[in-house]
Amino acid sequence: MTPRPITFRQLMAPCILLLLALALSPTANAQKFAYIDSEYVLLHMPEYASAQTELNNYAIEWQADIESKLEAADRLEVAYRAERVLLTAEMRVKREDGISKKRAEAKEMQKQKFGVEGELFQKRQELIEPIQQQLFESLKDIASGSGYMVIFDKSNQSNMLYTNPKYDISDRLIKKLGYVPGETVAPEEDKNDKGGDNIMDRGRDAVNGAKNDARGRMNNAVQGARGGVTAPKGKN
C-alpha cells in the first residue's frame, strides 16, 4: 500500500496567512482579490513530486520494519502456545515477556516513525519548507505587482462555495514558477495509487492492517499446532 500525498492544507496555510497579513495592512488602498488552486499548482512542480516520492519511500521502508517486528512476535506466540503445556511457570513468564517486548517494540517504532511529531512528520517539514517558501515568494510578487489585497487558496477554503474562474490566477502562478500549465508531474508511487487519505493516515492504516493480517496468520498457525484445520476463505 502506497502512502498518499502531503496534504495541501498544511502546505499552503502559512503562505495564505502571510499574504493576508500583508494585504490587510493600513497601506492597502484597493480591495482586489484573486485565488489559486494549490492542489493544481503543486502537481506542476517536480520538487513537490520528488518530495512526495521520498516521503513515500521512507513510509514504505518503516512500515515493512514494523510488520517484520509484528510477524516475529506472532511466530514467538505460535511456538509458545504449541509448547505451553510442556513449560514450567517460570519458563512461561519468560516467553510471555519476550512476546510482549516484541509487540512493544513494534508499537514504539510506529509512534517514532508515524506519530504526530514522528520522523515522517519531521522529514515532511524538512522537504516542504523550500517548496513553501518558493510558492510564497512567487505569490507575493504577483500580489505586489497586481495590487491584490487578498489571494485565497481554493484547496484550503472549505467554505468557498463558489469561485468565478476569471479570478483564478493558478496558471499565472505556475508560469511565474517556471512551469507550463497543464504539464503535471506525478510521483512514481502515486501512478498506481487509488487511496484517499494523507500520508500519515495511510502509514498508520498500513500498520493496523499488518497487525490484523498477522493476527489471522497466527490464529491459523495455532489451530494447526493444535491439530485443527482452517478452511480457505471463499471455498466450500
pLDDT at 58: 95
Residue 11: pLDDT band by 50, 70, 90 thresholds? low
C-alpha cell at 172: 499565472
Mean residue pLDDT across the chain: 78
- Calculate the alpha carbon distances from 190 to 4, 14, 29, 201, 209 in Å: 7, 26, 45, 16, 20
Q: Which of the residue ranges 11-25, 109-123, 147-161, 163-177 would you say has the lowest mean pLDDT? A: 11-25
Please determine, for residue 193, whether its predicted confidence score (pLDDT) is greater than 80.
no
pLDDT of 195-215, one tens digit each?
445 554 555 554 455 445 544
Please determine, for residue 8, whether its predicted confidence score (pLDDT) is greater than 60.
no
pLDDT at 209: 52
- What is the three-class DSSP state of 5? coil
Question: Which ranges of the chain does DSSP label H, i.e. alpha helix?
Answer: 8-23, 38-42, 46-83, 89-114, 119-146, 170-176, 199-225
pLDDT of 62-104, one tens digit each?
999 999 999 999 999 999 999 999 999 999 999 999 999 999 9
Please determine, for residue 227, whether its predicted confidence score (pLDDT) is greater than 90.
no
